[in-house]
Structure 1
């Protein structure tokens, strides 16, 4: 695989891997010592995952809970910090256990070094996990 040349291209490639449910390939986009943070995580959920192995362990269960179908609205903003982008997006799909619709708005601050993700701060909506029909059990 040719690694995408820019942080924006790498990010968009990662979104496609998530839609393809290819979590191992998505994890391969990370530095060994990459950090994934969830600043708005509710009580009992991880706020920070350190290292590619921890990120892979957390994400490997994602397709068992959420069947992502599309990211219909993706806007990527360049920053003045080299290798850092800000992405605004909306993910849609369904919750696997219940079949209920899934929709989440995200803002992510992503830093890429040497063609791999070194830092990803995921500002997702924690209120969504408490909505009726939301089943995120096993994701935390």
Structure 2
């Protein structure tokens, strides 16, 4: 990865990799000691993953549960810290197990250093997974 990659460009590349279901490629965007946090995760779901290996394990089966089709809304805000961005976005697709629609809004705070993601706080909506039919993370919990 180019160490001069801007956070905005790296993030957009990550979205493309998720749509392509290239989870190993997405994980390669992470620093070995990167941290992925889910501040609003419900009970029984991970709130913090530390290190690329833990993140890879968590994401390994994501395409088996969520078939992402598009990110129809992505707005990226630059912060006063050049290495940190705030992202508002919406992902749509279908839940593989139930073939029901997937539609999730997110806010993420992402920090990139030396061309790799070092910290990612994912503020996703836990209400979307309270319905057992929407249990898209399956074994990822």
> Which residue in the other structure is 1:31 paired with?
31
| Structure 2 residue 41 is matched with structure 1 residue 41 | yes
TM-score (norm 2): 0.95
Counterpart position of 2:139: 138
2:78 counterpart residue number: 78
- Does residue 15 (structure 1) correspond to residue 7 (structure 2)? The answer is no
CA deviations on 1:77-130 (whole Å, 9 max, x unpaired) are 000013000000000000000100000000000000000000000000000001
1:110 and 1:2 mapped to 2: Cα distance? 17
**SS of residue paired to 1:40:** coil
- TM superposition shift of 1:139: 2.6
Summarize the alignment of residues 41-120 of structure 1 with structure 2, pairs less than 5 Å apart: 41-120=41-120
Figure out how many residues of one structure are paired with residues of the other and give that number. Answer: 140
In structure 1, runs of 5+ residues without a counterpart are none
- 1:10 is paired with a residue of what secondary structure? helix
Q: Which runs of 5+ in 2 are unaligned?
A: none
Distance in 2, matches of 1:3 and 1:94, equals 35
Contact 1:98–1:135 (CA<8 Å) still a contact in 2? no
Aligned equivalents of 1:112, 1:119: Cα separation in 2: 7
**Alpha-carbon distance in 2 for matches of 1:97, 1:3:** 39
Over aligned residue pairs, what C-alpha RMSD do you find?
1.4
Distance 1:2-1:114 versus aligned 2 partners, 3 A rule: closer
| Displacement of 1:5 | 2.1
